[in-house]
Structure 1
Amino acid sequence: MLKRMMMSGVVGLGLAAAAAAPALADTLQDVIDEGKLTVGVKPDYAPWGMRDASGQLVGLEIDLMKDLAKRISEKAGKEIELELVAVVASNRMEFLEQGKIDVMMATMSDKPERREVVGIVQPNYYSSGVAILAHKDSGIDGWDTIEGKKICGIQGAWYNKDHGLKNGAEMIVFKGVPEVEAAVLDQRCVGWLYDDSAFIPRKVNEPEKWADYAIATPVVADVPWGAAVRKDEINDPIGQELSAAIIDWHKSGMIAELEEKWGIPQTQWVLSMQQKCLAGDKICDAVRDADE
């Protein structure tokens, strides 16, 4: 990890720049040489990424990253340790750019502007839309009814502006999900603007806790999620390894199996991707075409 961290050192010093160059050239080889893959994951997006009773990071995305480390271990002929680094929406791309992590899988929507910052590999691995989970007494029954209402959100989420502020909501943003949950349940805001994928397992797995809340708007802006490496490494071995793993996860049905393991209702997008990948659809290859 030391070599990879050097690229975040003092800009302009020739020595630092020279030392950073080899790390940028082949992060996968650095991972193999050092015996450790460092991955950024969410600690606040159950059940994709969360902390268990002992404080360990667990979840669907963590299981996928464990499999990635296992794949690299098998190819390297040595054990590759998986180091998990907790990230949030507001710092996940920054951590990747700075070399604090090698790979990022953190419930990130694949948006064109984000591809300008980090290397989102092809294909995507999951998908979700945007909705508002609202209290039964909120008076919210569609996007046109949130004007003037206090709506909670997460710092750095693109839809705070596109679907909250643009519809006249008074957005109250927090750094992480636990803070939002507390504010919603304390009724400091009447609704929660977030991914529908986060609401569904809560309603399924904690029905009493969320009995007074329901998805009160149509689900809009369905956007696939992307895993990422540094922008200039998308076609390098580390990017290729991540892309190949995602293709295999779709073909094997592993993601659908993990949905069941973590109590997530089966999603049509995941089933559709498995069918497309098995059929050789271009959406499931390692190259992003202009129309994708």
Structure 2
Amino acid sequence: MLNRRTFQLVLPVALLSVVLGISGCSKEEPVDAQTSATQSGQDLLDQIRTKGKIVIATEGTWSPWTFHDQSGKLTGYDIEVGRLIAQRLGVEPQFVEGKWDGLLAGISAGRYDIMINGVDMTPEREKTYRFTEPYAYNRTVVIVSDQNTEIKSMQDLKGKQTANTISSTYAEIAEKYGAKVDGVDDLNQTFELLLSGRIDATLNAEVVYYDYKKVHPQAAVKIAAIADETTSVGIPLKKEGTEKLQAELNKILNDLRASGELSKLSTQFFGTDISKK
């Protein structure tokens, strides 16, 4: 899955609060979403249509997947996909922002209906969550200081210090190759650690690296290695009572792919089409 961040200007707190209120976003747990975990005998799809909105968990700090632009508007590939999904369901989207390690737990607890945040579909996660079909595909890269000559492959991560969001796919991959992983809150913090020399490397999506370099062309970082495998990105749902919702989301994603809307959004935010393998 993917790890995370925005490189936009930070608005004053008061102004940002106003903007978030206008754009239908919240950093608080949605009260009515909490009740979905206790309702029984009704698929989550029916609950969503009854309440007239779908509660979508996202970070809001991982450009270009999910971030705030310079005006404070929440946008990004995942956000716009979420808006299209809500439109086709005939409901309003409510985006609730939070830290990565709490979002998946919120899906299991019923605090959120779905999570759209570049979530990699790993075997471990598929044991706990029901996933839609993939709506994006991702390649993992190792990012280092441009002065680093020690890391040239995934195997070179053994014994090195890395940093990534806690419980992210990238942290798991780094640990698999023998790295020691520091947990961080977001991508900005990760790059601060890397540029200050406090870590040797970080792992992230290839498209996230290029987005960062587009915003920070003078940043002294480079890609040192690319993982062989391509990961699939899907929308996680809680296991119980989501069969109808999963089927409907798959239909919507297939329609968006067939119409070219996924490709258009991908090109808009990533400069390339990651909606196709």
User: Per chain length, whose mean CA-contact separation is higher, i.e. which structure has more relative contact order (CA < 8 Å, sep 6+)?
Assistant: 2
TM-score above 0.5: yes
Match of 2:222 in 1: 214
Superposed displacement of residue 232, structure 1: 2.0
1:143 equivalent to 2:151? Answer no
Which moved further from structure 2: 81-90 or 63-72? 81-90
Structure-2 change in CA distance of 1:137 and 1:102 (3 Å): same
Structure 2-normalised TM-score?
0.80
Structure-to-structure mapping, 1:37-76, within 5 angstroms: 37-73=54-90
Structure 1-normalised TM-score?
0.76
Match of 2:166 in 1: 155
Structure-2 change in CA distance of 1:147 and 1:155 (3 Å): same
Superposed displacement of residue 3, structure 1: 5.7
Give secondary structure in 1 for the equivalent of 2:120: coil
Cα deviation, 1:244-276, whole Å, max 9, x if unaligned, reads 1111121112121112222x1314x5345xxxx
Structure-to-structure mapping, 1:228-239, within 5 angstroms: 228-236=236-244, 238-239=245-246
1:253 equivalent to 2:263? Answer no
Match of 1:197 in 2: 207
Which moved further from structure 2: 39-48 or 177-186? 177-186
1:5 equivalent to 2:23? Answer no
Superposed displacement of residue 59, structure 1: 0.7
Match of 1:270 in 2: 275
How many corresponding residue pairs? 247
Give secondary structure in 2 for the equivalent of 1:48: coil
Partners of 2:127 and 2:155 lie apart in 1 by 32
Match of 1:179 in 2: 189
RMSD: 2.2
Match of 1:242 in 2: 249
2:240 partner letter: D
From 123, 134, 145, give the equivalent of 1:124.
Answer: 134
2:198 partner letter: R
Structure-2 change in CA distance of 1:7 and 1:260 (3 Å): closer
From 80, 104, 113, give the equivalent of 1:93.
Answer: 104
- Ranges in structure 2 where 5+ consecutive residues have no aligned partner: 1-29
Identity of aligned residues (%): 18
Cα contact 1:134–1:190 (8 A) shared by 2: yes
Structure-2 change in CA distance of 1:119 and 1:147 (3 Å): closer
1:30 equivalent to 2:59? Answer no
Cα contact 1:119–1:233 (8 A) shared by 2: no
From 99, 104, 120, give the equivalent of 2:115.
Answer: 104
